[in-house]
Chains A and B, each alone.
Chain A
Amino acid sequence: MTLHSSRPDARTDLLHGTLDMLILRTLQWGPQHGYAIGQTIRAQSSDVLQVEAGSLYPALQRLAKKGWVTAKWSQTEANQRAKFYRLTPEGKKQLLREESRWDELVNAIGRVMKAALAPGTEE
Chain B
Amino acid sequence: MTWLRRLLRRAEMEDQLDRELGFHLERHTADLIARGVAPDDARRQARLELGGPEQVKEQCRDARGTRWVDDLWQDGRYALRTLRRRPGFAAVALLTLALGSGATTVIFTVMRGVLFKPVPFADPATLVKVDEQTKGIVDYRWGDRWAFSYPNFLDCQREVRSLEMAAFRYGGGTVSGAGDPEFVDALQVSANLMSVLGVAPIAGRSLLPEDDRPGAAPVAVISQALWQRRFGAAPSAVGATVTFEATPYTIVGVAPATFNVRGAALLTPIAQNTRPFMRLRGAHPGISVWARIRPGATRAAAQAELDVVSRSLAAQYPESNANRGFIAEPLRPDAGGVRSMLWLLMGAVALVLLIACVNVASLLLARAVSQDREVALRIALGAGRGRLVRQSLTESAVLGISGGTLGVALAAIGVQPFVLLWPGGLPGADRVQLDWSVLAFALGVSLACGFLFGLAPVLRAPSQRPDPALRAGGRSVTSSRQLHSIFIVAEIALAMVLLVSAGMLGRTLLRLSSVDPGVNLENVLTSRMAVSPSILSDPARVRAAWQAVIDRGHRVPGVRAIAMVDTVPMRAGNNQVGYWTAPPEPERMQKPLALANSVTPEYLDVMGIPLRRGRFFDDHDRLGSEPVVVIDEVMAQRAFAGQDPLGRRLWTDLAPTPLLVVGVVGHVRHWGLAADDRAQVRDQFYYPFAQVSDANVRRWSELMSVAVRTGIEPLSLVETLRHELRGPGGDQVLYATATLEQLANATLAEQRFLVVLFGAFASLAMTLACIGIYGVLAYLTGQRVPEFGVRMALGASARDVVRLVLGESARMIAAGALLGAGAAWAAGRVLQKLVEGMIDTEASTFGAMVAILVLAALLASFLPARRASRVDAMTALRQE
Question: Which residues of chain A have a CB within 8 Å of any CB of chain B?
Answer: 5, 8, 33-36, 39, 52-54, 57-59, 61-62, 65, 73, 80-83
Docked CA distance A5–B27 (Å): 20
Docked CA distance A83–B13 (Å): 12
Partner of B23 from the list A33, A52, A54, A58 (CB cut-off 8 Å) is A33
Is B323 an interface residue when CB atoms closer than 8 A count as contact? Answer: no
* A35→B51 contact, CB < 8 A: no
* A81→B59 contact, CB < 8 A: no
CB distance from B385 to the nearest CB of A (A): 13
* B24→A61 contact, CB < 8 A: no
Is B19 an interface residue when CB atoms closer than 8 A count as contact? Answer: yes
Is B551 an interface residue when CB atoms closer than 8 A count as contact? Answer: no
State whether A58 and B27 are in contact (beta carbons under 8 Å apart), knowing that A53-B21, A53-B50, A53-B56 are contacts in the complex. Answer: no
Is B16 an interface residue when CB atoms closer than 8 A count as contact? Answer: yes
CB distance from A54 to the nearest CB of B (A): 5
* B64→A61 contact, CB < 8 A: yes
State whether A61 and B60 are in contact (beta carbons under 8 Å apart), knowing that A80-B23, A83-B20 are contacts in the complex. Answer: yes
* B19→A81 contact, CB < 8 A: yes
B24 contact set on A, CB distance < 8 A: 34-35, 53
A62 contact set on B, CB distance < 8 A: 63
* A53→B23 contact, CB < 8 A: no
Residue of B at shortest CB range from A53? B50
Docked CA distance A61–B24 (Å): 15
16 A-B pairs whose Cβ atoms sit less than 8 Å apart in the complex: A5-B51, A34-B20, A35-B23, A35-B24, A35-B27, A39-B31, A52-B49, A53-B56, A54-B55, A57-B60, A58-B63, A65-B64, A80-B23, A81-B23, A83-B20, A83-B23
* B23→A57 contact, CB < 8 A: no
CB distance from B384 to the nearest CB of A (A): 10
B26 contact set on A, CB distance < 8 A: 80
Within 8 A of A (CB), among B21-71: 21, 23-24, 26-28, 31, 49-51, 55-56, 59-60, 62-65
Tally of chain B residues near chain A (CB < 8 A):
23
Interface of A is mostly: helix
Partner of B59 from the list A34, A57, A80, A83 (CB cut-off 8 Å) is A57
Docked CA distance A61–B66 (Å): 11
CB distance from A18 to the nearest CB of B (A): 16
CB distance from B30 to the nearest CB of A (A): 8
Residue of A at shortest CB range from B16? A83
B20 contact set on A, CB distance < 8 A: 33-34, 57, 82-83
* B23→A59 contact, CB < 8 A: no
Central interface residue in A33, A58, A80, by most chain B CB within 10 Å? A58
Partner of B62 from the list A8, A36, A52, A80 (CB cut-off 8 Å) is A8
* A57→B27 contact, CB < 8 A: no
* B59→A8 contact, CB < 8 A: yes
Docked CA distance A32–B283 (Å): 95
Docked CA distance A39–B60 (Å): 20
Docked CA distance A53–B48 (Å): 11
Residue of A at shortest CB range from B51? A54
Question: Which residues of chain B have a CB within 8 Å of any CB of chain A?
Answer: 1, 16-17, 19-21, 23-24, 26-28, 31, 49-51, 55-56, 59-60, 62-65
A52 contact set on B, CB distance < 8 A: 49-51
Docked CA distance A111–B248 (Å): 109
Docked CA distance A65–B62 (Å): 12
Residue of A at shortest CB range from B3? A65
Central interface residue in A53, A57, A73, A80, by most chain B CB within 10 Å? A53
Docked CA distance A36–B19 (Å): 15
* B64→A57 contact, CB < 8 A: no
Docked CA distance A5–B65 (Å): 18
B49 contact set on A, CB distance < 8 A: 52-53
Residue of A at shortest CB range from B52? A54
New A-B contacts (12) at CB < 8 Å, excluding given A53-B49, A54-B56: A5-B51, A5-B56, A5-B59, A8-B63, A35-B28, A53-B24, A53-B56, A54-B51, A57-B17, A61-B60, A82-B23, A83-B19
A54 contact set on B, CB distance < 8 A: 50-51, 55-56, 59
State whether A58 and B62 are in contact (beta carbons under 8 Å apart), knowing that A35-B24, A83-B16 are contacts in the complex. Answer: yes
A61 contact set on B, CB distance < 8 A: 60, 63-64
* B59→A58 contact, CB < 8 A: yes
A81 contact set on B, CB distance < 8 A: 19, 23
B50 contact set on A, CB distance < 8 A: 52-54
CB distance from B880 to the nearest CB of A (A): 39
B55 contact set on A, CB distance < 8 A: 5, 54
Partner of B65 from the list A33, A36, A65, A83 (CB cut-off 8 Å) is A65
A59 contact set on B, CB distance < 8 A: 63
A33 contact set on B, CB distance < 8 A: 20, 23
CB distance from A43 to the nearest CB of B (A): 12
B59 contact set on A, CB distance < 8 A: 5, 8, 54, 57-58
CB distance from A86 to the nearest CB of B (A): 15
Residue of B at shortest CB range from A38? B24
Partner of B56 from the list A57, A65, A73 (CB cut-off 8 Å) is A57
Docked CA distance A81–B49 (Å): 22
A35 contact set on B, CB distance < 8 A: 23-24, 27-28
B21 contact set on A, CB distance < 8 A: 53, 57
CB distance from B121 to the nearest CB of A (A): 52
CB distance from B91 to the nearest CB of A (A): 41
Central interface residue in B28, B31, B59, B65, by most chain A CB within 10 Å? B59
B31 contact set on A, CB distance < 8 A: 39
Partner of B60 from the list A36, A58, A73 (CB cut-off 8 Å) is A58
Docked CA distance A15–B643 (Å): 106
Residue of B at shortest CB range from A80? B23
Residue of A at shortest CB range from B30? A78
Residue of A at shortest CB range from B26? A80
A57 contact set on B, CB distance < 8 A: 17, 20-21, 56, 59-60
B23 contact set on A, CB distance < 8 A: 33-35, 80-83
Residue of B at shortest CB range from A63? B63
B56 contact set on A, CB distance < 8 A: 5, 53-54, 57-58
Docked CA distance A57–B18 (Å): 11
B17 contact set on A, CB distance < 8 A: 57
Question: Which 9 residue pairs across A and B have the least CB separation, nearest first?
Answer: A58-B63, A61-B63, A58-B59, A62-B63, A35-B27, A53-B50, A35-B24, A83-B20, A54-B56
Residue of B at shortest CB range from A39? B31
Docked CA distance A54–B63 (Å): 11
* A53→B51 contact, CB < 8 A: yes
CB distance from B644 to the nearest CB of A (A): 98
Residue of B at shortest CB range from A61? B63
Docked CA distance A65–B49 (Å): 26
CB distance from A33 to the nearest CB of B (A): 7
Docked CA distance A71–B120 (Å): 58
A39 contact set on B, CB distance < 8 A: 31
Docked CA distance A53–B23 (Å): 12
Docked CA distance A57–B63 (Å): 9
Docked CA distance A61–B64 (Å): 6
CB distance from A36 to the nearest CB of B (A): 8
CB distance from B57 to the nearest CB of A (A): 8
Residue of A at shortest CB range from B57? A57
CB distance from B563 to the nearest CB of A (A): 89
Docked CA distance A87–B49 (Å): 27
